[in-house]
Amino acid sequence: MATSIVTGVAGFIGSHLVEALLSQGEKVIGVDQFNDYYDPNLKRNNVAIFKDHPNFELIEGDIQALDWKALLNDAEVIYHQAAQAGVRASWGEGFRAYTERNINATQILLEVAKDAKQLKRFVFASTSSVYGDAETLPTSEAICPKPVSPYGITKLAAERLCQLYQHNFGVPFTALRYFTVYGPRQRPDMAFHKFFKAVIADEAIPIYGDGQQTRDFTFVSDAVAANLAAATAPAAIGEVFNIGGGSRVVLTEVLDTMEQIVGRPIRRNYVEKAMGDARHTAADVSKAKNLIGYQPKVPLAEGLKQEWDWIQSLYS
Active site amino acids: 151
Three-class DSSP labels, 242-302: EECCCCEEEHHHHHHHHHHHHCCCCCEEEECCCCCCCCECCECCHHHHHHHCCCCCCCHHH
E strand intervals along 33-137 = 56-60, 75-80, 121-127
Contacts of 81 (CB under 8 A, 6+ apart): 6, 7, 8, 9, 11, 13, 14, 17, 125
Q: Given the DSSP bridges, would you call strands 173-178 and 248-250 parallel, antiparallel or unpaired?
A: unpaired
Contacts of 76 (CB under 8 A, 6+ apart): 2, 3, 4, 118, 119, 120, 121
Residue 145: cis peptide before it, omega within 30 degrees of 0: no
Q: Given the DSSP bridges, would you call strands 205-208 and 268-271 parallel, antiparallel or unpaired?
A: parallel
Contacts of 144 (CB under 8 A, 6+ apart): none
